[in-house]
Chains A and B, each alone.
Chain A
Amino acid sequence: MAQNRVPDTNWVPGSHLGWGYAWPSNRRIMYNRASADPEGNPWSERKRYIWWDAEKGRWVGYDNPDFTLNKPPDYKPPDKGSGDECLDGKSPFIMMADGKGWLYAPAGLKDGPLPTHYEPVESPLINRIYPAQQTNPAAKLFHRPDNLYHAPGDPAYPYVITTYRLTEHHTGGVMTRWLPWLAELQPHGFVEISPELAAEKGIQHGEWVTLTTARGEVEARAVVTDRMLPLSFDGRVIHQIGMPWHFGYKGIARGDVANTLTSIVEDPNSRIHEGKVFTCNIRAGRKEVRA
């Protein structure tokens, strides 16, 4: 089915169910019963997608309905039952216990129930919303001599650094760094800095720079570009540095590993590594090789 190659004629109905396959049930939009109002009618004619057909006694539309096909909008669950039969005909989010989408999450999360703002574990600023609570109290920290954290506003590490991915490589680059057609498109590790920071630090475009944190030191080529904007807070200028992942010491496209710089902090719920924003220092030139 993944090899299906029949597009919709003149882009109608527009869901292209005959082109490839989408798991599950070749459904193109999840929870698509939400495209109809509680009575089962489209919210608007323009956004018509899935609706209740009373004559046929089933849900119809341009996609495979993500709902029990013959469960009418006025369906009331029985007093006793299990699974899908306990959800009424107005609850499109069938994977949730109550069939509703949640903005307020009183259960299931280690933080919450509403989203709020905390500073990253490493930040040059103090938290303006909760001055007494700089960072997420539920975040998982690892206090070890090889995983030192920078204090908020540490003058030794005044710059904000963020890590991101490039279109040309995939995740850590392990698969794509070896592939000539992709490696030539992004052949070398680099960091992006603003012309202001470059002038302050005497960094030339295309030359080597060294980035340091309490965890380690990496070198990369400098890309000095107007795309990087210095941030401004309370009249203070805070420079940001961008560093793509993907690079490593093997493969055709090589460069130092961004994870050498990051500390290990875990998100309380997914326990995913928070190395997206942290602080660092930068200087012109290559790193010193220790004998």
Chain B
Amino acid sequence: MMSRPLASEHPTGPFYRTLPPPTMHEAALTAGVRIEPGTTYGFFTDTTVCIGCKSCEAACKQWNQNPMDDFGFKGTSYDNTGELSATTWRHVAFVETRIDTNGDHRRDRTRWTFMSDVCKHCENAGCMEACPTGAIIRTEFGTVLIQQDVCNGCAYCVPSCPFGVITLAEEQDRKAHKCTLCYDRMKVGMEPACAKACPTDSIQFGPVTELRERARERLRFLHSRGRREAYLYGVPDAPGAAGGVGSLNCFFLLTERPEVYNLPPLPELPSRRAGAGFLTATAAALFWGAVTTAMILAPRREQREGGRQ
């Protein structure tokens, strides 16, 4: 057993310091990470400990001052925000999964599966490729950021995200918005709002390499306890890290198929299809060109023939 210092003899002493806010390198205290430029940061979202409290959703909206959106009763279990959008950067899915009760009517027949979804901050981001103005950049923290003063609202990034993360804020500035991984907080050494608010550490923040280690350790633990169905989504050579997207800086530990959580099992960068699309378009242009030419010529012949009768 680890030897533990007594409360009265603890290194910080019996009279603890009071730190005046704001605290520099606060993340070192809250997440055990000193945030430095040049390192790639992300989230590890462990769905096995998510309790569906939606603290991340509320904390995100409060910090980023995002408005309430698409208000109304949806009837999708306890989820009333539906999906990620320009004004909802964290979204908690409530999935009611059926359990086989072997005909025992006293046993619970469903299991609630929760998952807090977020922008994946892809290694190769589709939105960044599509952006014609250079508004979407890779920051010094390895995250993908939309610069709001540069974005012109063309929406090319919207269909280019394989995960459907980005939309335009139709009722506000008509520009594209998504999770910034709390760039403004990281700038001053603070952990992103959602990870800090998460009461069960389902959302963990840190350098991606360290998080992957932690995630593999957690996976080994779950497997050793018989949760064989658990797997990582978005780490290299795993589901989610496919189709040219590369690995995801914000990755997940899941227990159901990706589709259950509204995640694509095989995401693909739209640019991958540009070559085939170009060839198809060229072939189509040639074909319809030929058809049009034929159509222009054909009636003349018909007219000639008709004139004879």
Provided the pairs A15-B7, A221-B75 are in contact, do residues A183 and B18 lie with their beta carbons within 8 angstroms? no
With A205-B75, A223-B75: A3-B18 Cβ-Cβ less than 8 Å: yes
Cβ proximity bits A181-205 to B, threshold 8 Å, 1 near / 0 not: 1111111101000000000000001
- Per-position contact with A for B232-256: 1 when CB-CB < 8 Å, else 0? 0000000000000000000000000
B105 contacts across to A, CB distance below 8 A:
229-230, 232
Can you list, as one digit per residue, whether each of B84-118 has a CB less than 8 Å from chain A (1) or not (0)?
00000000000010100000011011101000000
A206 adjacent to B29 (CB under 8 Å): no
| A86 interfacial contact with B, CB 8 Å | no
A60→B14 CA distance, assembly (Å): 12
| Nearest residue, chain A, Cβ from B105 | A232
**Chain A 208-233 interface mask (CB, 8 Å, partner B; 1/0):** 00000000000001010111011010
Question: By the criterion CB–CB under 8 Å, are A184 and B18 in contact?
Answer: no
Contact A14–B4 (Cβ < 8 Å): yes
Which stretch, A4-12, A74-82, A282-290, touches the partner chain B?
Answer: A4-12
Chain A interface, DSSP helix/strand/loop, else mixed: loop
| CB of A116 closer than 8 Å to a CB of B | no
How many A residues face the partner with a CB closer than 8 A? Answer: 46
Contact residue among B54, B61, B80, B96 (Cβ-Cβ distance under 8 Å from A187)? B80
**Cβ–Cβ contact B96 & A227, under 8 A:** yes
- Whether A185 contacts B80 in the complex (CB less than 8 A), given A1-B18, A17-B16, A167-B54, comes out as yes
Shortest beta-carbon distance from A76 to chain B in Å: 27
A172 close to B (CB within 8 Å): no
- Chain A residues in 8 Å Cβ range of B17: 4, 6, 18
Q: Which of A1, A6, A184, A227 has the largest count of B CB atoms less than 10 A from its CB?
A: A184
Residue in B5, B10, B11 with the greatest tally of chain A CB atoms within 10 Å? B10
Residues of A within 8 A of B38 (CB): none
Assess whether A180 is in contact with B68, with CB atoms less than 8 Å apart: yes
- Asked whether, in the complex, the Cβ of A45 is within 8 Å of the Cβ of B68, the reply is no
Q: How far is the CB of A206 from chain B (nearest CB, A)?
A: 4
- Interface residue? B293 (CB, 8 A): no
Known contacts A206-B75, A227-B110; can you find 11 more A-B pairs with CB under 8 A? A5-B23, A5-B26, A6-B17, A15-B7, A17-B7, A18-B10, A184-B70, A184-B81, A229-B108, A232-B105, A232-B106
